[in-house]
Amino acid sequence: QHGPEGSQSILPKHSVLVDTDIGDDIDDALALALILRSPEIDLRGITTVFGDTQRRARLAQHLLHSYDREDVPIAAGVRTPLRPRHRPSGVPQAAVIDSRAVTPAISTLSGPELIVETALAQRGDLTILCLGPLTNVATALMIQPDLFMAISEIIMVGGTSGLPYPEWNVRSDAKAAQIVLGAGIPVKLLGWNITTRCQLRGCDLQRLRSEYSPETQFLSQLLGVWKRHHHRWQSDLPYIHDTLTVVALCAPELFEFEEITARVFAHGPLTGFMVP
């Protein structure tokens, strides 16, 4: 393949499925936007998790539509954690979508079924980026016990180091995290102690608002909803936790990873805490 002016374009080298709870924090949408603009990534599917997964899938559908990516399958996943602890939130950013029928159509498969189908089709060459609780992936592993052999890697925002409270994605379904971390799949964990160092700057937001394309205008709408709904104690500049999974995939040399065996407490007062 060749890009403009006869230059060699970058060929995709990472087959990726994204499992996301898009619609609450803005970082899921920003991570998907980065993926859709990363020529190194071949996006094979999106699954939604936690709460109103159908509405989350509709939001992902509209985001893909704004990027003219009708080729990517989307499936609504499991609504309820394996061991419910927190009531799933709403999907405030879905306020920007309308009743138009847009493509790609949402798959008739469930989220876990799409994960199984995609992983088996890729024959061990699939990375899953987990941007939310791990319910879909854990359910897929229960449906297809040998699935761990078909997934090359999982990269997720999860866990903490040195913080006195458990991280959201893990504690929202600690049982699912326990299953996934014990499945034998290589997992890269990006803890909140790392991801909370990364925020969009005011100039980044201004540049986004000043660009008039379907993609940037849709993201600007989502940012506007996020700003109206985010907690008062949060900064007006969004943390970009989930985008770091994309960076860790495409530019791992920017990180220093330490190999550990992580365990998750799935019940009791320490539910959601992760220990080596």
DSSP secondary structure of 138-164: HHHHHHSGGGGGG--EEEEE---SS-S
pLDDT (tens digit per residue) in 57-112: 999 999 999 999 989 999 999 999 998 766 666 777 776 776 566 767 899 999 99
Topology of domain 8-275, per CATH?
A: Inosine-uridine Nucleoside N-ribohydrolase; Chain A (3.90.245)
Select from 230, 180, 178, 226 the least CA-distant residue to 19. Answer: 180
pLDDT (tens digit per residue) in 202-256: 899 888 888 888 899 899 999 988 888 776 656 788 999 999 999 999 999 999 9
Instruction: Return all residues near 188 (Cβ < 8 A) that are at least 6 apart.
Output: 153, 154, 155, 156, 248, 257
